[in-house]
Amino acid sequence: MELSSEQISSFHENGFLVIPNYFTTEKVLELREAMKGILNNFEYTEAQTIFTTGADQTSHADDYFLGSSDKIRYFWEEDAWEYIKDEEKGTTTKKLVNSVHESINKVGHALHDLNPAFENVTYDKRVGKICKDLGLSKPLATQSMYIFKQPRIGGDVCPHQDGSYLYTTPQSCLGFWWALDKCTTNNGCLWAVPGSHKNGVQRHYRRVSKDSNVTTKTEYYPPEKENFDLTNAIPVEVDMGALVLIHYAVVHYSAKNTSNDPRHAYSVHIIDGADGITYPETNWLQRPSTMPFRE
């Protein structure tokens, strides 16, 4: 797949680009079935980390999350659990309100290297060609996520820039976001602020310690929360199978899914590994030397 000059210009002007019908219906169903199989073999009592993109994400940066770079790990919706207090025993237990399939927020962050179905679409030649068209000389896939946006409980994703969470020097992160359902304002589609990428990235989410005994392992720098101007934000409503390309600095977000419809998506973040571009050790996502990023 080769991007047209008009598509490349649109991406650089707006900070994102929609490519309809990237996946066939058959490919979407294949990916959904692959994830269903992953969840069917998942022992959920071993993983109870809730995923959040709120302002205090540092409080959720536990070892399970930080150690997910070379594994397939599981993260829950905030409203997935019911907490049951036993006043007599002075204990609190929790149980899932719904089934695992209806409660999971996302699965990540090495799906693209550890599962054949997701590996095949991630390292497809079309992905590499798009990266080259948008200026990446040596595209390296860093992380992947299957996002569920569950009906009725699918949480919101606050306004953010991908370059705050995965960054290189100079910046090069490019997001690939595939819609595995029809995405509308009713079920929590993406929203983006066209042109906001021209302001650059001013804040980073970074590691401050690798010591498992240290409570705070990550921080935002600078610590002050950014107040993004969302006045000109537009909904990015797309059909199933569409691809949304996301510039590292464009401000984007999504609302809660209060509908009865799911909004599944598969997302990959790719950086440039060319000479002269570095991947700082302060990135929260760090691969072991035995499993380097792949081109």
Q: What is the 3-state secondary structure (H, E, C) of 212-259?
A: CCCCCCEEEECCCCCCCCCCCCEEECECCCCEEEEECCCCEEECCECC
The pLDDT, as a whole number, for residue 153 is 84
Look up residue 156 and give its two tokens.
């919101």
Residue 219 contacts by C-beta under 8 Å, 6 or more apart in sequence? 58, 205, 206, 208
Which of helix, strand or coil describes residue 26?
helix
Q: Determine which of 52-61, 119-128, 135-144 has the lowest per-residue pLDDT on average.
A: 52-61
Percentage of the chain modeled with pLDDT above 90: 73
The pLDDT, as a whole number, for residue 211 is 63
The pLDDT, as a whole number, for residue 210 is 62
The pLDDT, as a whole number, for residue 57 is 45
97, 81 contact by CB (below 8 A): yes
The pLDDT, as a whole number, for residue 240 is 98
Q: Which of 95-109, 201-215, 279-293 has the highest mean pLDDT?
A: 279-293
The pLDDT, as a whole number, for residue 174 is 98
Look at residue 157 and tell me whether its pLDDT is greater than 90. yes
Look at residue 5 and tell me whether its pLDDT is greater than 90. yes
Please write the tens of the pLDDT for every residue from 47-95: 555 444 544 444 445 788 899 999 999 988 777 777 788 788 778 777 7
**275 pLDDT band (50/70/90 cuts)?**
very high
* Distance in angstroms (rounded) separating the CA atoms of residues 12 and 28: 28
Look at residue 206 and tell me whether its pLDDT is greater than 60. yes
Residue 206 C-alpha from the chain's centroid: 16
Task: Single out the residue of 81, 121, 73 nearest to residue 97, CA to CA.
Answer: 81
Sheet containing 104-109: which strands, arranged edge to edge?
16-19, 243-247, 174-179, 265-272, 139-147, 104-109, 72-76
Look at residue 212 and tell me whether its pLDDT is greater than 70. no
Residue 133 has what DSSP assignment? H
Q: Which of 98-102, 196-200, 204-208 has the highest mean pLDDT?
A: 196-200
Q: What angle do CA 190, 194, 195 make, to 5 degrees?
A: 140
Task: Single out the residue of 172, 194, 195 nearest to residue 278, CA to CA.
Answer: 172
Mean pLDDT for the stretch of residues 18-42: 96
Look at residue 22 and tell me whether its pLDDT is greater than 60. yes
Percentage of the chain modeled with pLDDT above 70: 92
Residue 210 contacts by C-beta under 8 Å, 6 or more apart in sequence? 217
One-letter identity of residue 192: A
One-letter identity of residue 283: N
Task: Give strand pairing partners of 73.
Answer: 108
**227 pLDDT band (50/70/90 cuts)?**
very high
First to last CA, the chain: 17
* Distance in angstroms (rounded) separating the CA atoms of residues 140 and 54: 28
Mean pLDDT for the stretch of residues 26-30: 98
Sheet containing 157-160: which strands, arranged edge to edge?
157-160, 252-254, 190-192, 234-236
By residue count, the chain amounts to 295
